Amino acid sequence: MIMFTLSEYHLNKKEEFREFAGKELDLGDHFPRENLQKAAQKGYLGLPIPKEWGGQGEDFLTYILFIEEISRVCSSTGVIIAVHTSVGTFPMLYYGTDQQKSRYLPGLAGGELLGAFALTEAGAGSDAAALSTTATTVDGGYCLNGCKLFITSGGEADIFTVFATVDRSRGVKGITAFLLEKGMPGLTSGHPEKKMGLNRSKTTELRMEDLFVPAANRLGKEGDGFQIAMSLLDGGRIGIAAQGLGLAQAGLDFSTAYLKEGEVSGRKTEQSVSFALADVATGLEAARLLVYRAAAVKDSGMRCSKEASMAKLFATDTAMATATRCMDLCGLSTALIDHPLNRFFCDAKATQIYEGSNQIQRIVIARELLRS
Ligand code: CAA
């Protein structure tokens, strides 16, 4: 059992990230390229990547503190960096050959390249193993055909970790991972989807039509793809949990300031307001402990599937509950689409759904309990 407290080093890092996010991040309605550039200049797009590959050599927990703090200000920037790092860059770090590492990691860690992850399909969302994108062996490599959905940073990313099957009759044992580069003939992104939240992050289809992929771009062995995807998602889900923390903190900060200003004069001391505020703050602290502990388990090198799913489930449900209760506390103006709490509400909903819906997290937690 890993117990958990933040060290002075981590507290200082959190403060540094909070200052960066507060001072440097903008809140426009376009793809947050400037935010990414500013983060890249500070080395923040490669925080948990070893220095030998161009990163900062920080631990996973430090990266999680960063995702929490930037999501508190702009959670679209948060999800772009979370996907870029934990499922867009870790694939090469954990499973790449030296050649793949040296080709991709310095650019990804330095922010010259943006990473993305393509697993989901129309018939394979929660049931990821049902994917139907095919990889047929051809001279010198593979020919990929299929269509991926809901790809974060589709149309913007440079490198995609894509999952396809070399033989559907082998089930999960046929699923294989490939590294695709933007501009490869046969690789196209669709139009950005219209979403209820996280509108600065682009989400598109990714189509592969007779796309030739050199054998050197296969990640891991044939048939290793499903385990690679699942193990990457363990880390990815802690990142989404941290995004939930940032959103919940932003909601609490807004409501507390609003109530302190006395704009709800007469109601401020009502028990219903106090109870709601106390519940929200308590839920957030509990979520924070789960998320940081999951990160510490990952840093220890142990499998963190259960802890990651618990953190994702609880922190993103907390973000949603916080946004809902804070909207109730702050009144009618929060129904306006440009109100900050309205944005937190819409963004929080997405965190409950992606990188495995919270129903999937429950399945993972229960399976891990029954497995041990
Ligand atoms: N680490 C390593 N291996 C793992 C693993 C893990 N965390 N989880 C499972 N595996 C292995 C199993 O050990 C098993 O291998 P063996 O047969 O050798 O024992 C193999 O993978 C198959 O495992 P399961 O039988 O558990 O697989 P399943 O088909 O029952 O699926 C599931 C399990 C948990 C439901 C899975 O399908 C799942 O996580 N679904 C959700 C998918 C998801 O999260 N998608 C999000 C995509 S990304 C996104 O949202 C947006 C973006 O842009 C990033």
Cα–chain-centroid distance for residue 217? 24
Query: Are 233 and 194 members of one domain?
Result: no
> What is the number of other CB atoms lying within 10 angstroms of the CB of residue 134?
17
pLDDT beyond 90 at 115: yes
Say how far apart CA 314 and CA 201 lie, in whole Å.
Answer: 23
Domain count, the chain: 3
CB 164 within 8 A of CB 133: yes
Residues with CB under 6 A from ligand 1: 83, 87, 117, 119-120, 126-129, 150-152, 172, 226-227, 230-231, 233-234, 305, 354-356, 360, 363-364
Binning pLDDT at 50, 70 and 90, where does residue 270 land? confident
Query: Are 169 and 248 members of one domain?
Result: no
Q: Which of 131, 163, 170, 172 to mutate to test the pocket of ligand 1 (most atoms within 8 A of CB)?
A: 172
pLDDT digits (tens, 9 = 90+) for 188-199: 999 999 999 999
The one catalytic residue among 209, 263, 355, 368:
355
Q: Which of 226, 228, 231 to mutate to test the pocket of ligand 1 (most atoms within 8 A of CB)?
A: 226
48 domain residue, yes or no? yes
Structure tokens at 110: 């330095």
CB 247 within 8 A of CB 351: yes
Say how far apart CA 249 and CA 323 lie, in whole Å.
Answer: 10
Query: Are 243 and 331 members of one domain?
Result: yes
Binning pLDDT at 50, 70 and 90, where does residue 273 land? confident
The residue from 56, 91, 110 where one domain ends is: 110
Query: Are 15 and 36 members of one domain?
Result: yes
Query: Are 16 and 125 members of one domain?
Result: no
Binning pLDDT at 50, 70 and 90, where does residue 266 land? low
**Which residue range forms the structural domain that includes residue 77?**
8-110
The residue from 197, 223, 249 where one domain ends is: 223
pLDDT at 269: 59
pLDDT at 268: 52
Cα–chain-centroid distance for residue 58? 18
Q: Can you give the CATH number for the domain in which 95 is found?
A: 1.10.540.10
pLDDT beyond 80 at 87: yes
Query: Are 202 and 285 members of one domain?
Result: no
Say how far apart CA 305 and CA 249 lie, in whole Å.
Answer: 25
171 domain residue, yes or no? yes
Could you tell me the pTM of the whole model?
0.96
Between residues 28 and 279, the one the model is more confident about: 279
1 domain residue, yes or no? no
140 domain residue, yes or no? yes
352 domain residue, yes or no? yes
216 domain residue, yes or no? yes
Query: Are 213 and 129 members of one domain?
Result: yes
pLDDT digits (tens, 9 = 90+) for 211-242: 999 999 999 999 999 999 999 999 999 999 99
pLDDT digits (tens, 9 = 90+) for 283-326: 999 999 999 999 999 999 999 999 999 999 999 999 999 999 99
Query: Are 142 and 70 members of one domain?
Result: no
